[in-house]
Structure 1
Amino acid sequence: MSEQAQILFASKDNCCFFKLHGELRYTNATGMDDLIERLFSKPVSCQQVIIDLNEATFIDSTYVGLLASLARYCQQQQLPKPTLFSTQSEVNELLYSLCLDQAFQIVEQSTSPAAELSSVMPGHYSEQQQGEMILRAHQALIDLNYKNKAEFQPLVDLLAQQLK
């Protein structure tokens, strides 16, 4: 039985806190993509970014790519590396295998949010917009590490061709 994905968010004292819950798949990634775009399309009020994956039961490459793009935004804004909390061994194995430890401070322990979290609703994307989101996410994975390029370049090339 699949567990419903949920994205929770809070911004307090210049800290942006994301809590991701359940099965994180490209089919439910539009809310996260919208939130990242909104947060970083203007001067950033986040001086620190924290992501809690302790309740994530599954994460696909599109979601990992969205996390990579979030780390890239932080780097571009000259912010500290985002902190990512995860006690899920399968999730951690994926994060390390895709080199997210280069872009995040990964902490394998529980969290307790210091702020009240609000639920982020999914965005309404057309098929074209969803394809563009998947392409951007996988491009962010490729940009993160050369090893990822070998794994995801064929998918990126195929998506880019289909989206023309």
Structure 2
Amino acid sequence: MSTGRIEYASLNGTYIFKIIGEVRAQACISLDNLLNKIDQSSQVIGAIVDLTETTFIDSTVLGMLAKLGLKLKQNHNIQAVILSTNPDITTLAHSMGLAQVFVILNYCTDPKVCTQTLADNNITHSEMLNTVLDAHRTLMQLNENNQNMFEPLVKQLQKEQQETLFQPDNQKV
């Protein structure tokens, strides 16, 4: 008997599956039916399987995940993603060969362990100017509204950039 559950959501062709707790074969009938529907869809663009709250999965669940990964890869040319925080579950997924059809990420829920602060010291005025200019040029490429909104700023930044080319850049921001 399963003491866990499988949840799912879809958004614009991306499917998210969350396997919570101890999940066994009994939970797989509905999952199999859903996977068959997904496989028939032409609107699939991605899938994420979240195992961050999984405490146990049996071989039937692993087989359903393998089916998902294989079908997405073969029929939709998509490599799905597995997120896992439990080293035992991650090792099990790797040992069953799921890494052949999934990208398995050792996702971390503790941001202090997983992230690093980007250093922003010793930035020169020129570096800051180049970064701001590049960011706004990129925004302008997205749509006409951004183009119109940021064009005056970009022109001003480009003018400032030209002026700083002829000055020594020893100012720190």
Q: Which TM-score tier does this pair reach, normalised by the shorter chain?
A: 0.5 to 0.7
Residue in 2 that maps onto 1:56: 54
The answer to whether the aligner puts 1:86 opposite 2:84 as a matched pair is yes
Q: Secondary structure at the match of 1:92?
A: helix
Q: Secondary structure at the match of 2:104?
A: strand
One-letter identity of the residue aligned with 2:75 = Q
User: Highest relative contact order (Cα 8 Å, sep 6+), 1 or 2?
Assistant: 1
Residue in 1 that maps onto 2:117: none
Q: CA deviation at 1:34?
A: 1.6
Q: Secondary structure at the match of 2:78?
A: coil
Structure 1: which 5+ runs fail to align?
A: 112-164
Give percent identity, aligned residues only: 31
Within 5 Å, give how 1:53-132 maps onto structure 2: 53-110=51-108
Task: Quote the Cα distance in structure 1 between the aligned partners of 2:29 and 2:13.
Answer: 24
Q: CA deviation at 1:3?
A: 6.9
Task: Quote the Cα distance in structure 1 between the aligned partners of 2:9 and 2:26.
Answer: 23
Aligned pairs, number? 109
CA change 1:39–1:78 in 2 (3 A) is: closer
One-letter identity of the residue aligned with 2:35 = I
Task: Quote the Cα distance in structure 1 between the aligned partners of 2:29 and 2:3.
Answer: 14
Q: CA deviation at 1:53?
A: 0.6
Residue in 2 that maps onto 1:11: 10
Residue in 1 that maps onto 2:30: 31
Task: Quote the Cα distance in structure 1 between the aligned partners of 2:84 and 2:53.
Answer: 8
Aligned Cα root-mean-square deviation (Å): 1.8
CA change 1:6–1:53 in 2 (3 A) is: same
Displacement over 4 Å in runs of 4+: none
Task: Quote the Cα distance in structure 2 between the aligned partners of 1:75 and 1:3.
Answer: 29
Q: Secondary structure at the match of 2:49?
A: strand
Q: Deviations over 1:22-47 (max 9, x none)?
A: 1111122222112112221x233221
Q: Secondary structure at the match of 2:53?
A: strand
Task: Quote the Cα distance in structure 2 between the aligned partners of 1:108 and 1:37.
Answer: 28
CA change 1:3–1:65 in 2 (3 A) is: closer
Q: CA deviation at 1:86?
A: 0.5
CA change 1:78–1:29 in 2 (3 A) is: closer
Q: Secondary structure at the match of 1:29?
A: helix
Q: CA deviation at 1:48?
A: 0.6
Q: CA deviation at 1:110?
A: 4.2
Structure 2: which 5+ runs fail to align?
A: 110-173
